Chain A
Amino acid sequence: MSIVDAAVHPLVPDAAYAERLPNPWRLAMNLVPGPFGKLYEADVPDVGDPAAAGDEAALAHSVLTDDVDAALLLPRGRGLLPNPEHLAAVDRATNDWLHEQWLQPPADERWCGAIRLPVTDPVAAVAELERLAPVERFAAVLVPLRVHEPYGADRYLPIWEAAVANDLPVFVLDDLACAAELVRSPVGQPIHFAENDALRTLLPFVHLASLVTSGTLGRLPGLRLVFADGGADLAAPLLWRLDKDWRSGRVEIPWVEEPPSAIAWRHAAFVAQGQDGRPDGLSPSRELAQVSRSGEQVLYGSRRPGWDAVAPEDVLAVVPPGAAERVLSGNALDRLPRLRLSEEREEHP
């Protein structure tokens, strides 16, 4: 069976920043919390995977099995650093590290990467996208889940336009924590890791609602979004609510001429998670997967080397009948055109 792994999260080692960041940012990184931040660190399960500690050979060994045709590297950043220049410098360093370490020989040719974009400075974000888009093995762009304003805001528009112009999908990923981010619930900071982990799955819909109501998705039919921390199960309940408020309140957003769910479904997909399609968290329900449109909207991603990694069989247990191929590779290939060209791919200097 042919598999595209759409979510692999290599750990960016501190040394990658020490070697690549100019001062003052190199010095400033010393103040940034380490892996998994300091927020809920104590509760993160330790699965004993050496790749989780940064062993790159172990990660390659566990991800690139014989049936995997391609794997997309989505490095988690060090959070939404409050100084946009700092964030842009860190994202550039991350992208250079990914390019040098993972996307050139002797690295396996099945790896491809996502260009991290410093979204708090859209000019810098567009420049970074254009700097690296010529590298064919960068197959997507990557923006953080946590920002200061949802993604429908006008100032992000040039970023989305550049992604569409380069035919690159936008992956949205929750990064490691930075101390200056917004509080993680509208009603105050949650206490436990499990709360944070469950609640972040709702955040894609804040962005989607914003992208629909602002008219961004209407203006950019080619914009493709993939939410890499799940949310497929929540799409129907939350988008239906949005439809209902659109029906009664569309006087406020007259440019939105069809139900928000219809627009969102055209643009958004979700990386599979272990609890997807299990109404009790445990027992698979293909019926739930059907209502959640998992066959069209879910991409398999191993999420390695995270504690919550999934295997293809976990995901196949909850895909609707006949949708296995789409979820394991077809949906990813639809959204990642550069992977389709992998056979005749040329190394960019």
Chain B
Amino acid sequence: MSVADPVRTTVPVQLVDIDIHLAPRDADELIGYMPAPWRDRLGDRRRLATRTAYLPFGNPARMDAFGPAGELPGTEPDLVRRQLFAEERMDIGLIVALPGQGPDPALNAAVAAAINDWQAATWLAEDDARLLGSVLLAIDDVAGAVRELERWAGHPGFRQALIAHDGDRPLGHPQYDPLWQAAARHRLPVAIHFNDSGRLSLGATPVGHFRTYVEYHALTHPLEYAAHVASWICGGVFDRFPDLRFVLLEGGFLWHRPVVARLMHLWERGVRAPGAVKDPLACVRDHIRFSSQPIEEAESVRDVQRLLELAEADRLLLFSSDYPHYDYDNPLRALPPTLAPELRARIMCENARELYGLPAVRPADRYDEP
């Protein structure tokens, strides 16, 4: 440390990005972390999730995120660091690595374990601690997911659990309690993200399937996340696990308030599940957080800003870029320009620092301007 920059050895943490998609270079690298029989079984397949449904694009990534030799986005360490640390000026980021899933819970668990071993051996082995890991869990085997979470719970690089968006039942169902219990015990927030769908029909809604990617991408997450939020609240999950926290990634933010307001309205009129104690708004304020990307935008910036304020973005909303995907949000431009500086700081940094227990300063490194 004695040779550190004499002017500045630490930098204040001002930008936390909670949704960064990094990946093994290719399927072979991931399979290398899998034991037999999975290594042999997958050795010839190369691709874990290649089913076609809605995506009209090829690799849905920023073109400038491909490496110089055509490396896939989110795989080339120098490029990733330069784009996140130098260009985006991100201080700390959460890795969200999603290899897809299938109908076989044992295979899903093996892939999740391999992703976790890969994170630990690569990105989390760096000493800069600017990229933190998410323990990927396959929740179609709850007992197995608890074991995988326990395997990493003491690791300093893993700061949250990560599960897929889908389930056989909304996630307040008591079948998931053992996992919530383990996550709460270890004070690890549980993030949720789309991860293909091995169990459910993609794009199915209560009134039939979406036809286009535009409809699917705009609405499927609000529909799914609203079902989970209502399920946690009405199922009394937060009464049972007061230390449990959820983070809903990439599903939007503003829709949640009308849904929760409706639950609150019902609650006040006595429409509540037997035994539920914590009211819907308190459940959201204390236990549920939302990532910002894709940030809500409208013709009237003022309307967006006012709804962000009414929906309590100052405590519930956490910035995310979705790097390196095509619909990436640039942290320098994502939020309405007229937002109050205090609210901006809450969204860009403070809410995430509180949720994940992140430091107020970090060591300066070569990506910082002198």
Closest residue on chain B to residue A237 by CB atoms: B254
Residue in A145, A198, A253, A285 whose beta carbon sits within 8 Å of that of B259 in the complex: A198
Any chain B CB within 8 A of the CB of A345?
Answer: no
Contact of B99 with A by CB under 8 A = no
Q: Within the assembled complex, what's the spacing in Å between the Cα atoms of A205 and B259?
A: 14
- Looking at the complex, which of A6-14, A127-135, A146-154, A322-330 is the stretch in contact with chain B? A146-154
Residue A32 interfacial (CB < 8 Å): no
Q: Which residues of A contact B262 (CB under 8 A)?
A: 197-198, 201, 273, 275, 281
Docked complex Cα distance between A195 and B228 (Å): 9
Cross-chain contact B296 with A185 (CB below 8 angstroms):
no
Closest chain B residue, CB of each to CB of A207: B207
Are A202 and B167 within 8 A (Cβ)?
A: no
Contact with A along B139-168 (1 / 0, CB 8 A): 000000000000000000000000001111
With a cutoff of 8 Å between Cβ atoms, the chain A residues found around residue B167 in the complex are: 187-188
- Residues from chain A with a CB closer than 8 A to the CB of B171 are 187
> Which of B31-39, B62-70, B305-313 faces chain A?
B305-313
The answer to whether A241 and B56 touch (CB under 8 A), given A194-B271, A209-B218, A233-B258, is no
Q: Any chain A CB within 8 A of the CB of B260?
A: yes
Q: How far is the CA of A279 from the CA of B204 in the complex (A)?
A: 29
Q: Does A241 contact B231, Cβ atoms closer than 8 Å?
A: no
B281 and A281: CB pair below 8 A? yes
Q: How far is the CA of A214 from the CA of B227 in the complex (A)?
A: 26
A146 engages B272 (CB within 8 Å): no
In Å, the complex CA distance between A150 and B206 comes to 9
Contact (Cβ within 8 A) B259 A244: no
Query: Do the beta carbons of B298 and A236 come within 8 Å of each other?
Result: yes
Ranked nearest first, the 4 interchain pairs of A and B with the lowest CB-CB distance are: A281-B264, A275-B265, A185-B227, A237-B254
Is B303's CB under 8 angstroms from A191's CB?
no
- Assuming the A-B contacts A152-B211, A182-B208, A206-B223, are A281 and B261 also in contact, with contact meaning beta carbons closer than 8 angstroms in the complex? yes
Q: CB of A245 within 8 A of chain B?
A: yes
Given A195-B231, A236-B307, A237-B254, A186–B206 Cβ distance below 8 Å? yes
Given A213-B215, A249-B214; A202-B226 close (CB under 8 Å): yes
A145→B296 CA distance, assembly (Å): 27
A246 interfacial by beta-carbon distance below 8 Å: yes
12 A-B contacts (beta carbon < 8 Å): A43-B273, A186-B223, A192-B230, A194-B273, A202-B226, A207-B207, A213-B211, A213-B212, A234-B255, A240-B296, A241-B294, A282-B265
Determine if A244 and B294 form an interchain contact, defined as CB atoms under 8 angstroms apart.
yes
Q: Mark A240-283, 1 if CB is under 8 A from B, else 0.
A: 11111110111111000000010000000000011100111110
Given the known interface contacts A214-B211, A238-B219, A241-B294, the answer about A282 and B226 at a Cβ–Cβ threshold of 8 Å is no
